């Protein structure tokens, strides 16, 4: 069995000593309502604030209304196990043409989805004339990345030794 759910209702009733204008202003700010929505809340008719919520959420809404000076009601929803609680809208009848682009929408719950009229056969185009390279001798080795540069050895610790002085070259007579 599923958990009990509750509806939160408001009929415009105020707590004792609450000023109507202050309560309207508080509810408007609290729930970010427009003036028309606030007036609808105080129309004298019962208005459903939230449907099918758990007891914790319902209690929280009632507390928020009480803080604003309004009296919200929590009503347990009676579920019939044999039928769904809400009737779904009638499913749209399938059409022979799909809707225009940009007009896509989700189907309502319980709707019968339309199947495609015929399966789409895949096309196999002739791609023999396409090539990645112009060279007929090309192989996959040509796609190999260039070799990584080798790091230079660390030669900071090396020093050069001065050369030993050379003995003087013998003098030659140019005239000889």
Q: What is the pLDDT of residue 104?
A: 59
Residues paired with 74 in a beta bridge: 8
pTM exceeds 0.75 for this model:
no
If you average pLDDT over every residue of the chain, what do you get?
Answer: 78
Q: Which of 60-74, 111-125, 151-165 has the lowest mean pLDDT?
A: 111-125
**Secondary structure letter of residue 142 according to DSSP:** G
The position carrying tokens 């260039």 is: 146
Q: Are 3 and 52 in contact (CB under 8 A)?
A: no
For the chain, percent of residues with pLDDT exceeding 70? 74
Q: How confident is the model at residue 176 (pLDDT cuts 50, 70, 90)?
A: low
Tokens (6 digits) for 168: 């003087």
| Domains with residue ranges and CATH for the chain | 6-76 (3.30.1390.10)
Q: Are 52 and 5 in contact (CB under 8 A)?
A: yes
Across the range 40-64, mean pLDDT stands at 89
Helix, strand or coil, per DSSP, at residue 31: helix
The position carrying tokens 């069995």 is: 1
Question: Where on the phi/psi map is residue 17: left (φ > 0), alpha (ψ -120 to 50), or beta?
Answer: left
Q: What is the pLDDT of residue 103?
A: 53
Task: Give burial (CB, 10 Å; 0-12/13-18/19+) of 165.
Answer: exposed
pLDDT for 102 beyond 60:
no
Helix, strand or coil, per DSSP, at residue 29: helix
Higher pLDDT, 105 or 77: 77
Q: What is the dihedral of CA 94, 90, 54, 51, to 10 degrees?
A: 130
Q: Which of 7-11, 49-53, 169-173 has the lowest mean pLDDT?
A: 169-173
pLDDT for 122 beyond 50:
yes
């Amino acid at each position: 069995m599923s958990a009990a759910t509750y509806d939160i209702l408001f009929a415009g009733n105020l707590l004792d000593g609450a000023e109507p204008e202050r309560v309207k202003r508080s509810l408007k700010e609290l729930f970010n309502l427009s003036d028309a929505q606030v007036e609808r809340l105080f129309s004298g008719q019962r208005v459903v604030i939230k449907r099918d919520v758990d007891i914790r959420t319902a209690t929280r809404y009632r507390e928020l209304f009480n803080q604003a000076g309004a009296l919200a009601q929590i009503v347990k929803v009676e579920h019939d196990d044999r039928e769904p609680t809400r009737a779904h809208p009638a499913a749209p009848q399938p059409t022979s043409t799909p809707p225009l682009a940009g007009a896509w929408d989700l189907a309502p719950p319980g709707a019968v989805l339309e199947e495609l009229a015929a399966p789409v056969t895949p096309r196999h185009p002739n791609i023999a004339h396409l090539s990645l390279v112009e060279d007929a001798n090309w192989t996959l080795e040509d796609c190999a990345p260039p070799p990584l540069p080798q790091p230079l050895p660390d030669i900071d610790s090396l020093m050069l030794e001065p050369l030993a002085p050379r003995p003087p070259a013998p003098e030659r007579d140019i005239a000889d």
